[in-house]
């Protein structure tokens, strides 16, 4: 039974309180009635998250938490006590505990903080920490250029956003690579742009190369279709105007236009682009 993880368990027996689910070793956990369907039967397999409830009992839920064991998320502080803070992790009736010893600089109710979740080896309960150094590093890189990755925006600087990649590495998303609103705490789909000799990872939100151009061309084609078949923008338009109308950089726009012109799907007259 994996506490803090989403896993598939089998309905082992039915009680007045809910369903008892079992793992392959026969260990059981209760799925309370509020998560049970009348269609559930013994032998069914269910995807559930296992954790300790407010009375310290091991239970299962079909709700999907914002964070699981061994991952990071930006979570909001909903309450505080002398022992620590409590975070909203998306589960009904139970908050995630952030002990004082795991905080950095203190926390404020109503504010969100980037945390890692682990299972305490003494209590067996899910716990959050703001101290990310033991878990997030670039010592051994497990991603490669052009790879699709999951990005959590951790902080902002004048040049860009420091991000956590796949809950494992640090990376930088430079502001000149961002063409939509981005905020600390956002979870984004992105791509590895390059990895430097000293293991720094640069990120982008758009796939580069032929696949990226094809995706941008499809996006531009859809924009044309949604705007009466014409857009008042061309190769000579300013980068600001191109971005305002297409949410693309000038470079990406020109490549997308080139692909659509070559395929005969659009025409350009020096002032605008039109569907053919």
Q: Which two tokens stand for residue 163?
A: 């991000």
- Report pLDDT for 75: 97
Spatial separation of the C-alpha atoms in residues 32 and 62, rounded to whole Å: 10
Question: 15-24, 183-192, 217-226: which range is least confident on average?
Answer: 217-226
**Whether the Cβ atoms of residue 234 and residue 215 lie closer than 8 Å to each other:** no
Categorize the per-residue pLDDT at 91 as very low, low, confident or very high, splitting at 50, 70 and 90: very high
pLDDT in tens, 29-76: 999 999 998 889 999 999 999 999 988 899 999 999 999 999 999 999
Q: Which two tokens stand for residue 222?
A: 């859809």
Q: Residue 254: count other Cβ atoms within 10 Å of its Cβ.
A: 17
Segment 130-143 mean pLDDT? 96
How would DSSP label each residue in 59-115?
EEESSPPS--TT-EEEEEEEEE-SSEEEEE-S-TT--EEEEGGG-SS---TT-EEEE
Mean pLDDT of the chain: 92
Helical (H) or strand (E) element with 161: strand 160-165
Indicate whether 28 pLDDT > 80: yes
CATH class, range 72-129: mainly beta
How many C-alpha atoms does 158 have within 13 Å on its Cβ side?
0
Spatial separation of the C-alpha atoms in residues 129 and 61, rounded to whole Å: 23
**Whether the Cβ atoms of residue 122 and residue 172 lie closer than 8 Å to each other:** no
pLDDT in tens, 142-162: 999 989 999 999 999 999 999
- Report pLDDT for 54: 85
Indicate whether 210 pLDDT > 60: no
Question: 186-190, 192-196, 238-242: which range is least confident on average?
Answer: 238-242
Give the residue with greater pLDDT, 259 vs 86: 86
Judge whether 6-61 and 72-129 match in fold. yes
**Whether the Cβ atoms of residue 112 and residue 106 lie closer than 8 Å to each other:** no
The arrangement of secondary structure in 148-204, i.e. its CATH architecture, is Beta Barrel (2.40)
Whether CATH 2.40.50.140 fits 6-61:
yes
- Beta sheet of 266-268, edge-to-edge order: 230-231, 273-275, 266-268
pLDDT in tens, 225-262: 999 999 999 888 888 888 888 888 888 888 889 889 98
Domain ranges of the chain: 6-61, 72-129, 148-204, 210-275
The arrangement of secondary structure in 210-275, i.e. its CATH architecture, is Orthogonal Bundle (1.10)
- Report pLDDT for 23: 94
3-state secondary structure string, 185-252?
CCEEEEEEEEECCCCCEEEECCCCCHHHHHHHHHHHHHHHHHCCCEECCCCCCCHHHHHHHHCCCHHH
Give the residue with greater pLDDT, 249 vs 109: 109
Indicate whether 132 pLDDT > 70: yes
Question: 87-91, 128-132, 177-181, 193-197: which range is least confident on average?
Answer: 177-181
Longest dimension (CA), the chain: 73
Question: 9-23, 91-105, 174-188: which range is least confident on average?
Answer: 174-188
pTM, two decimal places: 0.76
Segment 98-124 mean pLDDT? 95
- 48 Cα distance to chain centroid: 20
């Amino acid at each position: 039974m994996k506490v803090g993880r989403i896993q598939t368990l089998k309905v082992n027996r039915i009680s007045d309180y809910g369903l008892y689910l079992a793992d392959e070793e026969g260990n059981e956990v209760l799925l309370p009635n509020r998560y049970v369907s009348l269609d559930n039967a013994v032998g069914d397999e269910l995807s559930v998250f296992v954790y300790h409830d407010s009375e310290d009992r091991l239970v299962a839920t079909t709700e999907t938490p914002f964070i699981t064991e061994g991952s990071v998320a930006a979570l909001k502080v909903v309450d505080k006590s002398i022992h620590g803070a409590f975070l909203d992790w998306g589960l009904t009736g139970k908050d995630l505990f952030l002990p004082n010893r795991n905080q950095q600089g203190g926390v404020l109710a109503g504010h969100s903080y980037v945390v890692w979740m682990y299972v305490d080896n003494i209590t067996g309960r899910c716990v959050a920490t703001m101290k990310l150094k033991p878990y997030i590093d670039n010592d051994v890189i497990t991603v490669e250029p052009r790879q699709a990755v999951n990005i959590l925006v951790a902080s902002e600087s004048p040049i860009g956003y420091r991000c956590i990649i796949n809950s494992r590495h640090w990376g930088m998303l430079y502001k000149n690579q961002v063409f939509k609103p981005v905020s600390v705490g956002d979870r984004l789909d992105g791509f590895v742009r390059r990895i430097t000799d000293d293991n720094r990872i640069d990120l982008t939100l758009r796939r580069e190369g032929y696949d990226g151009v094809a995706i941008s061309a499809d996006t531009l084609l859809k924009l044309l279709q949604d705007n009466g078949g014409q857009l008042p923008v061309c190769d000579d338009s300013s980068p600001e105007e191109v971005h305002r109308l297409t949410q693309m950089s000038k470079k990406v726009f020109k490549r997308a236009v080139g692909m659509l012109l070559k395929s005969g799907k659009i025409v350009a007259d020096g002032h605008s682009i039109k569907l053919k």
